[in-house]
Amino acid sequence: MSTTNKIKNKKNKKGIARLLEIAGQKKSLLILSGTLASVSAAAMLVPYLSVYKILEELLQNAADITHINAVLMKSWAWIALIGLAVGLVTLYASLMASHVAAFNILYGLRIKISEHIAKLPLGFITSSSTGAIKKTMEQNVEKVETFVAHTIPDFVGVIASLVLMFAVFFSLNVWLALVCLVVIGVSLYLQFSIFFGKEAEKIVKTYYDTQESLSASAVEYVRGMPVVKIFSQSVNSFKDFTKQIKNYKTTALKICDLYEKPMMRFVVGLNSVVTFILPFGILLFNHSVSAVSFAVVWLFFIIMSPGLASPVFKLMYLGSSTKEIDEGVQRIDKILNIKTNPEPSNPQIPNSYDIKFQDVCFSYDPDADKENYTLQNINFTAEKGKITALVGASGSGKSTLASLIPRFYDVNTGAILIGGVNIKDIANAELMNMVSFVFQDTFLFFDTIAENISAGQSTANIERIIASAKKAQCHDFIMSLPDGYQTRIGDKGINLSGGERQRICLARAVMKNAPILVLDEATAFADTENEQLIQKAINNLVKDKTVIMIAHRLSTIKNADKIIVLNKGMIAQTGTHSSLLQTEGIYNNI
């Protein structure tokens, strides 16, 4: 097979095959689990076989019970007990193997998705709802664990049970076995014709879409709770959330309506096997050569045939699980198939850290016309050891321009050079190591302050953490907390102010000590006292670095070496604070 065909076949894999492929197959454990499940299924049938042999002995000697072989009956009783014990032990071992495989796959899959998301351009995160991503990583992946841990061994056990039971049935009486087979076959057809029909496929997809939308709206609603409470609004005022709840209700009811009648027919048919066995048995009894022998077989079918319902019910639920897995895998693949920033074939490392924008044009919409680009014809150089400030009205493109440096997005045309090397020719990991980014909206993990400062620095020690905190002007307030640097943010009612959170983020940037620093409105939400401390921390942070500073307050950038004024995605003015004040233009009106 050619390489092209192999790749094509790999991409065409769906459902369970694709699930095992993307999760990292634990073949040996799954094979062991399946084998043990088959052994368990066989062993669980031994008690029924023992009952048949005991019944046969009793009926054949019903005329004179003194001829009953007590030793034989005791032997079959012990065989039944041993069979049950073996069945339970092997079932436990099967589930243990499948659970170990499931949790390994679950771990590997979540790590795979997390690592992939971490490599994706920031555009994916900003254009996707947090709730939808969360649902894929939690609920859809969680179903993988349930499927592997329970469904796979159940599926193997069900198939083994049915095959063995029908093998016994056909060996005893072909006609009665055919009656069981036809009744079960018709029942399964009535159910699976709905499960795997186009209407079901469509509504299952709608159901998953509705769940994602509901999850996204719920996250947004919780985040907007302060606004809801301040204005004394109810949940009904949050129209999108209310709409998604109603959509979910409507879709869930549609699924119930779709499955209701087929499910009733399936249950009634499956539980009616004995109803058909009895009349057919009477018919065959009248034509049997040996009444006693047939009576034993007939009685065995009457006792055993209802036992077919349990494995067949499991098989039905397996069909439903498979459908959910197919849909879940598609959504996992939807994330995994998003292209990451391509790695350069011949990565280069710059010798200096000057940043040069060279005829850069960019648009969030890849199909936008050039005149509608977010940034147009951007040309400037940010020199090492100097501060380059970006100012302009809201929406002028300041944050967008800064986000192009670490390749949160890729430019449409033009190039961004660091030390004369195109950033596309720098390995992604190397580029990220070169840049520290302090955002306007701070983000701290629900963890200790020490862990938040040292995020991404696996070799950090407490001395470095404290030194970084001191430079970021946050050591004093950290030491005033109950557990100092081991205080968990958000735990026991400990919440930090906006300025304190911002200084911890600055300490994180100090800790990283990258040669390029991007400050996006670092003092935007700080009060006067915090602004002074943050400004002092920034002064400690910017030494000998290439600094891009975005600000609305001119007081924070008046000492910048170069100020670039943006207007509608284009550079309107360039100069120092004093030179721009002396020039008629946008800067004077900011």
DSSP helix/strand/coil, 477:
helix
The kind and range of the H/E element at 249 are helix 239-270
* Better-predicted residue by pLDDT, 58 or 176: 176
Stretch 503-531: mean pLDDT, rounded? 77
Stretch 210-235: mean pLDDT, rounded? 68
Q: What is the spatial distance between Cα 26 and Cα 487, in angstroms, rounded to a whole number?
A: 40
Reported confidence tier of residue 3, pLDDT bands at 50, 70, 90? very low
Q: Provide the 10 A C-beta neighbour count for residue 199.
A: 10
Q: List the one residue out of 327, 372, 114 whose CA is nearest residue 202.
A: 327
Q: Give the tens place of pLDDT for each residue, 32-46.
A: 888 898 899 889 888
Q: Calculate what percentage of the chain has a pLDDT beyond 90.
A: 8
Asked if the domains 103-336 and 355-589 are classified in one and the same CATH topology, the answer is no
Answer for the pair 325, 18: CB distance below 8 angstroms, yes or no.
no
Q: Give the tens place of pLDDT for each residue, 298-310.
A: 888 887 788 777 7
pLDDT at 143 over 50: yes
Distance of CA 1 to the CA centre of its chain: 34
Q: What is the spatial distance between Cα 316 and Cα 328, in angstroms, rounded to a whole number?
A: 19
DSSP 8-state secondary structure symbol assigned to residue 391: E
Q: What is the spatial distance between Cα 542 and Cα 533, in angstroms, rounded to a whole number?
A: 14
Predicted pLDDT of residue 385: 85
pLDDT at 14 over 70: no
Answer for the pair 13, 56: CB distance below 8 angstroms, yes or no.
no
Predicted pLDDT of residue 81: 93
- Report, in angstroms and rounded to the nearest whole number, the Rg of the chain calculated over CA atoms: 35
Q: Give the tens place of pLDDT for each residue, 76-97.
A: 899 999 999 999 999 999 989 8
Q: Provide the 10 A C-beta neighbour count for residue 112.
A: 17
Q: Is 247 exposed, middle or buried (0-12, 13-18, 19+ CB in 10 A)?
A: middle
Stretch 8-24: mean pLDDT, rounded? 59
In this structure, what is the dihedral angle of CA atoms 165, 169, 172, 177, given to the nearest 10 degrees?
180
Q: Where are the domains of the chain?
A: 103-336, 355-589
- Superfamily for domain range 355-589: P-loop containing nucleotide triphosphate hydrolases (3.40.50.300)
Q: What is the spatial distance between Cα 522 and Cα 516, in angstroms, rounded to a whole number?
A: 15
Across 193-197, 363-367, 460-464, least confident range = 193-197
The listed range with the strongest mean pLDDT (131-135, 151-155, 250-254, 377-381) is 377-381
Q: Give the tens place of pLDDT for each residue, 536-555.
A: 777 777 778 898 888 777 77
Please state which CATH number belongs to domain 103-336: 1.20.1560.10
Answer for the pair 309, 270: CB distance below 8 angstroms, yes or no.
yes
Q: What is the spatial distance between Cα 471 and Cα 493, in angstroms, rounded to a whole number?
A: 27
* DSSP E strands, 304-393: 355-362, 375-382, 387-392
* Better-predicted residue by pLDDT, 228 or 46: 46
pLDDT at 8 over 50: no
Q: Calculate what percentage of the chain has a pLDDT beyond 70.
A: 82
